[in-house]
Amino acid sequence: MIPRVLQAILLLHCLVQLTKAQRGTCCESYCYNDDTERKQVKHFATKTVYEFIRAPDTDRQHIVPNCVPVKFWLLSRHGTRLPGKSEIIEMPKQLKLLQDSIMDNYFTRRSVPDNGRMCDEDLEMLRNWHWDPNITERYDAHLTEQGWEDLKYLAVRAKEKFWQVFGTGYQPSKFTFRHTATQRTEASFKAFAEGLFGREESQRVKPTPATTPDLLLKPYDACPDYETNKNRDTQDGNSEVNKFLRSVLFTETVWDISQRLGFRHNLSVEQIEVMWDACRYEQAWRISRPSPFCTVFTEDQVRVLEYKEDLAYFYRNSYGYSRSQDIACHAMADMLRQLTSRDDPSVVAYFTHDSEIQLFLAALGAKRDSTPIRADNFPFMANRKYTSSDIPFTANVAAVKYQCAEQREPEKVIFFLNEKPIMLDWCSVGLCNWSDVKRQYQRFTEGNCDRMYCQSSGAAASVSVAHVAVGVVGSLLLASMRHLTLH
């Protein structure tokens, strides 16, 4: 009980300090152009750049002494894509209006704050911004050139690391590929094949056709319970993400962003999100060139925006949703079946979407915190395991099986997320005994996935009484702080 009380007191202290700080000056002094680190680019949620997240080229954790890789199974998200049709229609108009208003605020109305205003270099970048006219509705949600490169070189690195499995050329019996029925996943498959076999030979690589419904790679599309839970997340005023949108922390962040840009009123959440989307998309399209709209946000503000998306995804695709560990049943069963077989194919690679990657990680039991993220515990979750920024464009989970010289446990498995070993509690620094893998996930091989993956349920995950109690206390504390905010 005492730790809970201390947690509540600490939360109240954080909120008081936040309010005091923002009453004195509106904004943190920050210049994007002068920031050589830009740590926030690793916190762009599911629109994070893969190159910023993946394991470095010097990483050697795939090497296991006295072991040889014999099977490679991959579940990959598509690479960097263009926005959807509605975004391509609306974003240029909204961004132009915001750009013009910010310039007017700084150079005509002069309504900018005395402290924390944007630096001249950042303003100049924003003044010169324009929408790329080549991005039209015709190419909605298409894979970009950077997306192609990310998948191609993911394949190149995989082949270099696990050359014993991949061999030197394409043999149809040795490789299995499959993608969903979208341009961006099909193009991702083709880029990956080019990375493995070269441009000419990759032309003869044929993937396994997608099915309808696609229970292997898009099972959530055929699950009414998933859709019901997803809608509840947006429509229920008491969902964690909606409570966070009403919290003191988030409303103060909105005020801070608005004031720094020279607005005398709060921008809408939609206006802030369209600027953040522009920042994230443009950074992902051209990773060596900063997006002008990234100058709008400080690192702390980005962390708050990331947390909002974490809440949405956590209660939709992860442990906050009671069915999350079952929906990827077909993919889990496929992985276990492929790793069990001593026959070809030796390499299996599937290309899907961010929701399937998150659901698969939940089925694995990866990235699970002892305390779930909630609207009221942001200050205490800075070092959380779960974050949507671990699912960037090209996010991927690989399962590699090794044959080892050890007599007692000769078969081992490493699960990789974005080319880095996943640390599971029942494995040794990421290296798992195959016997433990089979035992840990036996319900996926022994159960009926057609029945298990989408059983009807009450949707949102059950939360312990203690968590509910702390949530109520946190909400009351957040509400009690509002009258202290003087703007």
The residue assigned the tokens 């980005």 is: 302
d(CA 158, CA 398): 10
Residue type for 277, please?
D
**Which residue in 43, 78, 330, 353 is the catalytic one?**
78
How many Å is the Cα radius of gyration of the chain? 24
DSSP state at residue 95: H
The structure tokens listed for 403 are 């044959």
d(CA 60, CA 38): 26
* β-strands 67-77, 420-421 pairing: unpaired
Is residue 354 part of the annotated active site? The answer reads yes
Residue type for 79, please?
G
Contacts of 330 (CB under 8 A, 6+ apart): 215, 216, 219, 449, 453
d(CA 433, CA 412): 5
- Rounded to 5 degrees, φ, ψ at 177 are -125, 150
d(CA 230, CA 312): 9
- The Cβ of residue 32 has, within 10 Å, a number of other Cβ atoms equal to 23
Is residue 122 part of the annotated active site? The answer reads no
d(CA 305, CA 308): 5
CB 352 within 8 A of CB 75: yes
d(CA 316, CA 234): 10
**Which residue in 326, 354, 376, 390 is the catalytic one?**
354
Contacts of 138 (CB under 8 A, 6+ apart): none
Contacts of 12 (CB under 8 A, 6+ apart): 477, 481
The structure tokens listed for 428 are 């040794």
CB 176 within 8 A of CB 347: yes
Sign of the dihedral through C-alpha 146, 149, 155, 159: negative
CB 362 within 8 A of CB 349: no
Strand positions, DSSP E, 405-477:
411-417, 420-421, 431-433
Helix (H) or strand (E) holding 147: helix 145-161
Contacts of 291 (CB under 8 A, 6+ apart): 278, 279, 280, 281, 282, 283
DSSP state at residue 117: P
Could you tell me the CA-to-CA distances from 222 to 211, 355, 457 in Å, in that order? 12, 13, 15
Q: Which residues are known to be catalytic?
A: 78, 354
